[in-house]
Amino acid sequence: MNYWYVAVAGQQQGPFDQNHIIQGIASGQYNQSTMVWTEGYQNWIPIAQARELQQPVIQQPPPAVYGQSAHEIDFEIHGNEMQFVEIELDPGESAVAEAGAMMYMTDGIAMETVFGDGSHQSQQGGFFDKMLGAGKRLITGESLFTTVFTHNGSGKGRVAFASPYPGKIIPLDLAQYEGQLVCQKDAFLCAAKGVAIGIAFQKKIGVALFGGEGFIMQKLEGDGLTFIHAGGTIVEKDLQPGETLRVDTGCLVALTRTVQYDIEFVGGIKSAIFGGEGFFFATLRGPGHVWLQSLPFSRLAGKIHEATPQNVGSSGVGEGSVLGGIGNLFQR
Protein backbone atom coordinates (compact mmCIF):
# COMPACT_ATOMS: atom_id res chain seq x y z
CA MET A 1 0.00 0.00 0.00
CA ASN A 2 1.36 3.40 -1.00
CA TYR A 3 1.68 6.20 1.53
CA TRP A 4 0.91 9.78 0.67
CA TYR A 5 2.49 13.10 1.61
CA VAL A 6 0.59 16.37 1.67
CA ALA A 7 1.89 19.94 1.35
CA VAL A 8 -0.11 22.29 3.59
CA ALA A 9 0.92 25.95 4.09
CA GLY A 10 4.33 25.17 2.68
CA GLN A 11 4.90 22.31 5.14
CA GLN A 12 5.16 18.63 4.23
CA GLN A 13 2.89 16.36 6.21
CA GLY A 14 2.69 12.59 6.23
CA PRO A 15 2.97 9.83 5.51
CA PHE A 16 -0.75 9.07 5.39
CA ASP A 17 -2.63 6.15 3.94
CA GLN A 18 -4.97 6.72 1.01
CA ASN A 19 -8.15 6.52 3.10
CA HIS A 20 -6.93 9.37 5.30
CA ILE A 21 -6.46 11.63 2.28
CA ILE A 22 -9.91 10.72 0.88
CA GLN A 23 -11.56 11.43 4.23
CA GLY A 24 -9.71 14.75 4.40
CA ILE A 25 -11.10 15.71 0.99
CA ALA A 26 -14.64 14.80 2.09
CA SER A 27 -14.37 16.81 5.31
CA GLY A 28 -12.90 19.87 3.57
CA GLN A 29 -9.48 19.55 5.20
CA TYR A 30 -7.97 19.23 1.73
CA ASN A 31 -9.23 20.56 -1.59
CA GLN A 32 -8.63 19.73 -5.21
CA SER A 33 -5.66 22.13 -5.41
CA THR A 34 -3.83 20.67 -2.40
CA MET A 35 -0.43 19.26 -3.51
CA VAL A 36 0.27 15.56 -2.83
CA TRP A 37 3.01 13.05 -3.57
CA THR A 38 3.31 9.26 -3.39
CA GLU A 39 5.76 6.67 -4.55
CA GLY A 40 5.83 6.45 -8.35
CA TYR A 41 5.22 10.20 -8.92
CA GLN A 42 8.13 12.25 -10.25
CA ASN A 43 6.74 15.55 -8.92
CA TRP A 44 4.14 16.88 -6.54
CA ILE A 45 0.71 17.18 -8.17
CA PRO A 46 -2.65 18.66 -7.12
CA ILE A 47 -5.21 16.24 -5.77
CA ALA A 48 -7.37 16.97 -8.83
CA GLN A 49 -4.79 15.15 -10.97
CA ALA A 50 -4.34 12.15 -8.66
CA ARG A 51 -6.66 9.53 -10.06
CA GLU A 52 -6.23 7.30 -7.02
CA LEU A 53 -7.78 9.96 -4.78
CA GLN A 54 -10.80 10.67 -6.93
CA GLN A 55 -13.97 9.16 -5.55
CA PRO A 56 -16.21 7.56 -8.17
CA VAL A 57 -19.20 9.76 -8.94
CA ILE A 58 -22.32 8.01 -7.74
CA GLN A 59 -25.22 9.08 -9.87
CA GLN A 60 -28.21 9.98 -7.76
CA PRO A 61 -31.52 8.52 -8.85
CA PRO A 62 -34.15 10.97 -10.06
CA PRO A 63 -36.93 11.88 -7.64
CA ALA A 64 -39.24 8.97 -7.11
CA VAL A 65 -42.46 9.20 -9.08
CA TYR A 66 -45.28 7.96 -6.91
CA GLY A 67 -48.25 6.60 -8.75
CA GLN A 68 -51.69 7.95 -8.15
CA SER A 69 -53.49 6.34 -5.26
CA ALA A 70 -56.74 6.97 -7.11
CA HIS A 71 -57.56 5.18 -10.36
CA GLU A 72 -57.05 7.15 -13.56
CA ILE A 73 -60.31 7.43 -15.47
CA ASP A 74 -61.59 9.13 -18.61
CA PHE A 75 -64.98 10.78 -18.80
CA GLU A 76 -67.47 12.68 -20.93
CA ILE A 77 -70.32 14.86 -19.71
CA HIS A 78 -73.55 14.78 -21.72
CA GLY A 79 -76.55 17.09 -21.71
CA ASN A 80 -77.16 20.69 -20.79
CA GLU A 81 -79.56 21.20 -17.90
CA MET A 82 -80.07 17.57 -16.84
CA GLN A 83 -76.55 16.26 -17.24
CA PHE A 84 -74.98 12.88 -16.75
CA VAL A 85 -71.33 11.86 -16.78
CA GLU A 86 -70.12 8.77 -18.63
CA ILE A 87 -66.92 7.32 -17.17
CA GLU A 88 -64.67 5.11 -19.28
CA LEU A 89 -62.86 2.35 -17.39
CA ASP A 90 -59.92 0.22 -18.42
CA PRO A 91 -59.75 -3.38 -17.14
CA GLY A 92 -59.30 -3.32 -13.37
CA GLU A 93 -60.26 0.32 -12.95
CA SER A 94 -63.10 1.38 -10.67
CA ALA A 95 -65.37 4.32 -9.99
CA VAL A 96 -67.30 4.99 -6.80
CA ALA A 97 -70.69 6.73 -6.60
CA GLU A 98 -73.52 7.52 -4.27
CA ALA A 99 -76.16 4.84 -3.99
CA GLY A 100 -78.81 5.35 -6.67
CA ALA A 101 -76.72 7.61 -8.92
CA MET A 102 -76.01 5.00 -11.60
CA MET A 103 -77.78 5.52 -14.94
CA TYR A 104 -76.38 2.64 -17.03
CA MET A 105 -73.32 0.44 -17.37
CA THR A 106 -71.91 -1.75 -20.12
CA ASP A 107 -71.24 -5.47 -20.00
CA GLY A 108 -68.24 -6.56 -17.95
CA ILE A 109 -68.69 -4.03 -15.15
CA ALA A 110 -69.33 -5.45 -11.70
CA MET A 111 -71.21 -3.52 -9.05
CA GLU A 112 -70.34 -3.90 -5.36
CA THR A 113 -71.76 -2.12 -2.32
CA VAL A 114 -69.16 -1.30 0.32
CA PHE A 115 -68.92 0.46 3.68
CA GLY A 116 -67.69 4.03 3.45
CA ASP A 117 -66.27 5.44 0.24
CA GLY A 118 -64.28 2.46 -1.03
CA SER A 119 -60.95 4.31 -0.67
CA HIS A 120 -57.84 2.60 0.66
CA GLN A 121 -58.10 4.45 3.97
CA SER A 122 -61.68 3.40 4.59
CA GLN A 123 -60.93 -0.26 3.89
CA GLN A 124 -57.95 -0.49 6.24
CA GLY A 125 -58.25 -1.82 9.76
CA GLY A 126 -60.92 -3.96 11.28
CA PHE A 127 -64.68 -3.89 11.33
CA PHE A 128 -64.94 -0.96 13.74
CA ASP A 129 -62.53 1.12 11.64
CA LYS A 130 -64.70 0.52 8.60
CA MET A 131 -67.81 1.42 10.59
CA LEU A 132 -66.13 4.66 11.66
CA GLY A 133 -65.39 5.56 8.04
CA ALA A 134 -68.96 4.78 7.06
CA GLY A 135 -70.23 6.75 10.04
CA LYS A 136 -68.53 9.89 8.73
CA ARG A 137 -70.70 9.66 5.64
CA LEU A 138 -73.79 9.19 7.77
CA ILE A 139 -72.99 12.41 9.64
CA THR A 140 -72.92 14.36 6.37
CA GLY A 141 -76.41 13.07 5.53
CA GLU A 142 -75.27 10.41 3.08
CA SER A 143 -75.82 6.67 3.16
CA LEU A 144 -73.55 4.31 5.10
CA PHE A 145 -72.75 2.63 1.82
CA THR A 146 -71.36 3.59 -1.56
CA THR A 147 -71.32 1.57 -4.74
CA VAL A 148 -68.08 0.63 -6.48
CA PHE A 149 -68.19 -0.14 -10.21
CA THR A 150 -65.22 -2.19 -11.44
CA HIS A 151 -64.47 -3.17 -15.03
CA ASN A 152 -63.62 -6.88 -14.98
CA GLY A 153 -63.88 -7.44 -18.73
CA SER A 154 -61.58 -6.67 -21.63
CA GLY A 155 -61.36 -3.49 -23.67
CA LYS A 156 -63.17 -0.39 -22.50
CA GLY A 157 -66.10 -0.36 -20.11
CA ARG A 158 -68.47 2.52 -19.47
CA VAL A 159 -70.69 3.48 -16.58
CA ALA A 160 -72.84 6.61 -16.37
CA PHE A 161 -74.08 8.60 -13.38
CA ALA A 162 -76.94 11.11 -13.59
CA SER A 163 -77.44 14.35 -11.70
CA PRO A 164 -80.40 14.26 -9.29
CA TYR A 165 -81.95 17.62 -10.30
CA PRO A 166 -81.43 20.34 -12.94
CA GLY A 167 -77.97 21.79 -12.89
CA LYS A 168 -74.39 21.09 -13.88
CA ILE A 169 -71.83 18.39 -13.16
CA ILE A 170 -68.41 19.82 -12.31
CA PRO A 171 -65.33 17.62 -12.94
CA LEU A 172 -62.51 18.38 -10.53
CA ASP A 173 -59.00 16.92 -10.39
CA LEU A 174 -58.05 16.98 -6.70
CA ALA A 175 -54.35 16.88 -7.59
CA GLN A 176 -54.74 20.44 -8.91
CA TYR A 177 -56.17 21.68 -5.60
CA GLU A 178 -53.53 20.38 -3.17
CA GLY A 179 -55.45 17.14 -2.76
CA GLN A 180 -58.45 18.56 -0.90
CA LEU A 181 -61.76 20.33 -1.50
CA VAL A 182 -64.61 21.20 0.83
CA CYS A 183 -68.13 21.08 -0.58
CA GLN A 184 -71.73 21.15 0.56
CA LYS A 185 -73.14 17.94 2.00
CA ASP A 186 -75.06 16.67 -1.02
CA ALA A 187 -72.73 17.90 -3.78
CA PHE A 188 -70.73 14.69 -4.31
CA LEU A 189 -71.90 12.55 -7.25
CA CYS A 190 -69.09 10.13 -8.14
CA ALA A 191 -65.31 9.83 -8.32
CA ALA A 192 -62.41 7.62 -9.25
CA LYS A 193 -61.85 4.89 -6.70
CA GLY A 194 -59.31 6.09 -4.16
CA VAL A 195 -60.86 9.48 -3.47
CA ALA A 196 -61.70 9.70 0.23
CA ILE A 197 -64.98 11.30 1.30
CA GLY A 198 -64.76 12.69 4.81
CA ILE A 199 -66.21 15.45 6.94
CA ALA A 200 -65.07 19.05 7.42
CA PHE A 201 -66.16 20.57 10.73
CA GLN A 202 -66.80 24.29 10.74
CA LYS A 203 -65.02 25.60 13.83
CA LYS A 204 -66.82 28.92 14.21
CA ILE A 205 -70.12 28.85 16.05
CA GLY A 206 -71.73 31.22 13.53
CA VAL A 207 -71.02 28.84 10.71
CA ALA A 208 -72.20 25.94 12.82
CA LEU A 209 -75.58 27.40 13.69
CA PHE A 210 -76.49 29.56 10.69
CA GLY A 211 -74.35 28.34 7.80
CA GLY A 212 -77.21 27.00 5.74
CA GLU A 213 -75.11 23.93 4.94
CA GLY A 214 -74.97 23.08 8.62
CA PHE A 215 -72.12 22.43 11.00
CA ILE A 216 -70.58 19.74 8.80
CA MET A 217 -69.56 19.83 5.17
CA GLN A 218 -68.06 17.16 2.96
CA LYS A 219 -64.30 16.95 2.51
CA LEU A 220 -62.94 15.28 -0.63
CA GLU A 221 -59.32 14.15 -0.42
CA GLY A 222 -56.99 12.36 -2.81
CA ASP A 223 -55.33 12.81 -6.18
CA GLY A 224 -58.00 11.61 -8.57
CA LEU A 225 -61.00 12.92 -10.47
CA THR A 226 -64.18 13.68 -8.59
CA PHE A 227 -67.52 14.95 -9.85
CA ILE A 228 -69.81 17.23 -7.89
CA HIS A 229 -73.27 18.43 -8.83
CA ALA A 230 -74.78 21.88 -8.39
CA GLY A 231 -78.10 23.47 -9.32
CA GLY A 232 -78.71 25.98 -12.07
CA THR A 233 -75.73 27.84 -13.52
CA ILE A 234 -72.24 27.42 -12.05
CA VAL A 235 -70.12 30.47 -11.26
CA GLU A 236 -66.41 30.15 -10.44
CA LYS A 237 -64.56 32.86 -8.53
CA ASP A 238 -60.81 33.07 -8.02
CA LEU A 239 -60.33 35.14 -4.87
CA GLN A 240 -57.11 37.08 -4.37
CA PRO A 241 -55.50 37.33 -0.90
CA GLY A 242 -57.79 39.42 1.30
CA GLU A 243 -60.55 39.63 -1.32
CA THR A 244 -64.02 39.12 0.16
CA LEU A 245 -67.17 37.74 -1.44
CA ARG A 246 -70.57 37.59 0.27
CA VAL A 247 -73.02 35.00 -1.01
CA ASP A 248 -76.28 33.37 -0.01
CA THR A 249 -75.45 30.43 2.24
CA GLY A 250 -77.26 27.96 -0.01
CA CYS A 251 -75.44 29.11 -3.15
CA LEU A 252 -72.04 27.95 -1.96
CA VAL A 253 -71.04 24.66 -3.66
CA ALA A 254 -67.35 24.12 -2.98
CA LEU A 255 -64.17 25.90 -1.95
CA THR A 256 -60.46 25.20 -1.74
CA ARG A 257 -58.76 24.67 1.59
CA THR A 258 -57.22 28.18 1.67
CA VAL A 259 -60.56 30.03 1.56
CA GLN A 260 -61.85 31.31 4.93
CA TYR A 261 -65.58 30.75 5.42
CA ASP A 262 -67.67 32.63 7.96
CA ILE A 263 -71.29 33.70 8.50
CA GLU A 264 -72.44 37.31 8.93
CA PHE A 265 -75.77 38.82 9.93
CA VAL A 266 -77.53 40.70 7.15
CA GLY A 267 -77.80 43.78 9.32
CA GLY A 268 -80.99 45.70 9.99
CA ILE A 269 -84.21 44.05 11.10
CA LYS A 270 -86.14 45.42 8.12
CA SER A 271 -83.65 43.99 5.64
CA ALA A 272 -83.63 40.66 7.47
CA ILE A 273 -87.41 40.29 7.63
CA PHE A 274 -88.51 41.82 4.33
CA GLY A 275 -85.41 41.43 2.18
CA GLY A 276 -86.27 37.87 1.23
CA GLU A 277 -82.63 36.81 1.42
CA GLY A 278 -82.62 35.34 4.92
CA PHE A 279 -80.95 36.60 8.08
CA PHE A 280 -77.41 35.48 7.28
CA PHE A 281 -75.05 35.23 4.37
CA ALA A 282 -71.69 33.52 3.86
CA THR A 283 -68.51 35.57 3.78
CA LEU A 284 -65.70 34.04 1.76
CA ARG A 285 -62.21 35.50 2.06
CA GLY A 286 -59.33 34.66 -0.27
CA PRO A 287 -56.95 33.48 -1.39
CA GLY A 288 -58.52 30.50 -3.09
CA HIS A 289 -61.12 29.26 -5.53
CA VAL A 290 -64.87 28.95 -4.92
CA TRP A 291 -67.75 27.45 -6.89
CA LEU A 292 -71.26 28.92 -6.61
CA GLN A 293 -74.66 27.74 -7.85
CA SER A 294 -77.57 29.88 -8.97
CA LEU A 295 -80.28 27.42 -7.92
CA PRO A 296 -79.81 25.63 -4.58
CA PHE A 297 -81.94 22.54 -4.27
CA SER A 298 -83.58 23.91 -1.11
CA ARG A 299 -84.79 26.91 -3.10
CA LEU A 300 -86.10 24.70 -5.90
CA ALA A 301 -87.86 22.40 -3.42
CA GLY A 302 -89.42 25.40 -1.68
CA LYS A 303 -90.87 26.72 -4.94
CA ILE A 304 -92.26 23.29 -5.83
CA HIS A 305 -93.84 23.00 -2.40
CA GLU A 306 -95.46 26.43 -2.73
CA ALA A 307 -96.93 25.49 -6.12
CA THR A 308 -98.19 22.10 -4.98
CA PRO A 309 -101.97 22.00 -4.24
CA GLN A 310 -102.40 21.58 -0.51
CA ASN A 311 -105.75 19.71 -0.80
CA VAL A 312 -104.65 16.97 -3.16
CA GLY A 313 -107.91 15.04 -2.96
CA SER A 314 -110.20 17.95 -3.77
CA SER A 315 -111.25 18.80 -7.28
CA GLY A 316 -110.75 22.35 -8.31
CA VAL A 317 -109.82 24.75 -11.03
CA GLY A 318 -106.82 23.62 -13.05
CA GLU A 319 -103.45 25.30 -12.94
CA GLY A 320 -104.12 26.93 -16.30
CA SER A 321 -107.47 28.47 -15.33
CA VAL A 322 -107.74 32.23 -15.68
CA LEU A 323 -109.61 32.22 -12.38
CA GLY A 324 -106.72 30.58 -10.56
CA GLY A 325 -107.34 30.54 -6.80
CA ILE A 326 -110.41 32.77 -7.16
CA GLY A 327 -112.28 29.81 -8.60
CA ASN A 328 -112.04 28.10 -5.23
CA LEU A 329 -114.32 30.73 -3.75
CA PHE A 330 -117.26 29.29 -5.68
CA GLN A 331 -116.60 25.71 -4.53
CA ARG A 332 -118.68 24.78 -1.54
Mean pLDDT of 41-47: 87
- The predicted structure's pLDDT at residue 83: 92
- Angle at Cα 193 formed by Cα 237 and Cα 177, nearest 5°? 25
pLDDT at 248 over 90: no
Confidence grade of residue 48 (pLDDT, cut at 50, 70, 90): confident
Helix ranges (DSSP H) in the chain: 18-27, 120-123, 127-139, 205-210, 269-274, 297-307
- The predicted structure's pLDDT at residue 81: 82
Are 230 and 291 in contact by the 8 Å Cβ rule? The answer is yes
Average pLDDT of the chain to the nearest whole number: 77
pLDDT tens-place string over residues 175-224? 999 899 998 878 889 999 988 887 776 545 444 454 444 456 788 999 89
Q: Which CATH architecture has domain 74-298?
A: 4-Layer Sandwich (3.60)
Q: CA-based Rg of the chain, rounded to a whole angstrom? A: 33
- The predicted structure's pLDDT at residue 236: 94
Rounded to two decimals, the pTM is 0.64
Confidence grade of residue 323 (pLDDT, cut at 50, 70, 90): very low
- The predicted structure's pLDDT at residue 320: 46
The CATH T-level fold of domain 4-53 is Dna Ligase; domain 1 (3.30.1490)
Confidence grade of residue 64 (pLDDT, cut at 50, 70, 90): very low
pLDDT tens-place string over residues 90-122? 999 999 998 888 999 999 999 998 766 555 555
- Angle at Cα 214 formed by Cα 209 and Cα 215, nearest 5°? 75
- The predicted structure's pLDDT at residue 198: 79
Mean pLDDT of 59-78: 67
Give the whole-number percent of the chain exceeding pLDDT 90.
26
The beta strands (E) that lie in 1-116 are given as 4-8, 11-16, 35-38, 45-46, 74-78, 84-89, 94-98, 102-105, 109-115
Are 253 and 217 in contact by the 8 Å Cβ rule? The answer is no
- The predicted structure's pLDDT at residue 117: 56
Confidence grade of residue 225 (pLDDT, cut at 50, 70, 90): very high
- The predicted structure's pLDDT at residue 17: 87
Helix ranges (DSSP H) in 170-295: 205-210, 269-274
What's the first-to-final CA gap in the chain, in angstroms?
121
Can 4-53 and 74-298 be said to share one CATH topology? no
- The residue extents of the domains of the chain are 4-53, 74-298
